[in-house]
Amino acid sequence: MQTQAHTQAALQPQLEAQERADVWWASLLRTRFEDSAIKIAWDEFVRLFRAKFIPEHIQDRMEQEFLSLTQGSMTVLEYEARYAELSKNAPHVVTDERRKAKKFVMGLKPSLRTRLVAFDHRTLDEALSAACRQEGKMQQYLEEKKASQKRPAATFQRQDKKKAVYQAPQHPVTTSSAQVPSQRSPGVKKECPHCGKTHGGSKCWMIAGKCLKCGSKAAPATGRLGRPRAPARVFALAREDAEQAEHVTEGLFGDPTPLEETVESDSERGE
């Protein structure tokens, strides 16, 4: 019972409005059309109905809402549905199909409007079809661009990882003593270019004509720091001993070089 009463209460305003409309229409037929059986266009009926039941300030507000309608964040189809609904509030603005199409195009997004405004669309359906095609192309372009922007990002990440491998912190390399060129310490003597020896002083004894061993000018200068040449030693041997020694020398060495020369040679070698 409560549900039925609630339903009747909700429908009561509608029933009253319908009754008022019926009374108005019957009165209009008697006064304007004199009860003659004539055909009335739907647009004319809507105009008369709005003038009777919708206040003028409400009509002005609804008309302004239609005039300021733009696509905004709506799709083309959503915008067209809203356009068709609000266009009923301004029938005098869109009196023909060309004006409907032009008003529809001017309310599209700038990216779509610039592609359609140069064309002369004869009907609203033509403008709607062209707008849907352009919207599909733009959506495809944006998807491809978004996909192309993701691929380089993955490539850069791989390159960064490679750089991280190649540019790893390098530890200081310990160089062995064998790889480092040897450097003379300040206290080590250098080899003399004149005598080929290492000695102190600023002047080589060999240039001054001094002995390289004792530094005396009395001793003959020599180019090496070996022992001085020893004088030949003379041995007093008996004739038999000398002959025997000669035979022994010849038997051992097979060299006829005199003994004195052998000794001198040994002295020169420092043996």
**Which residues have a Cβ under 8 Å from the Cβ of 71 and sit 6 or more positions away?**
79, 107, 108, 109, 112
Residue 191 pairs with which residues in a beta bridge?
198
192 vs 74, higher pLDDT: 74
**Does the predicted model carry a pTM greater than 0.95?**
no
Determine the pLDDT at residue 101: 92
Which phi and psi (to 5°) does residue 132 adopt?
Answer: -65, -40
User: Domains of the chain (ranges plus CATH)?
Assistant: 1-53 (no CATH), 58-150 (1.10.1200)
Determine the pLDDT at residue 252: 43
Structure tokens at 18: 């319908």
Query: HSE-up of 50 (CA within 13 Å, CB side)?
Result: 18
pLDDT tens per residue across span 25-43: 777 777 776 655 567 777 7
Determine the pLDDT at residue 152: 62
Q: Which parts of the chain fold into alpha helices (H)?
A: 2-31, 42-53, 56-67, 76-86, 97-106, 110-116, 124-166, 205-208, 239-253, 259-269
pLDDT tens per residue across span 233-271: 555 555 555 555 555 444 444 445 554 454 444 445 455
Determine the pLDDT at residue 251: 44
Determine the pLDDT at residue 210: 77
pLDDT tens per residue across span 65-85: 999 999 999 999 999 999 998
Percent of the chain having pLDDT more than 90?
16
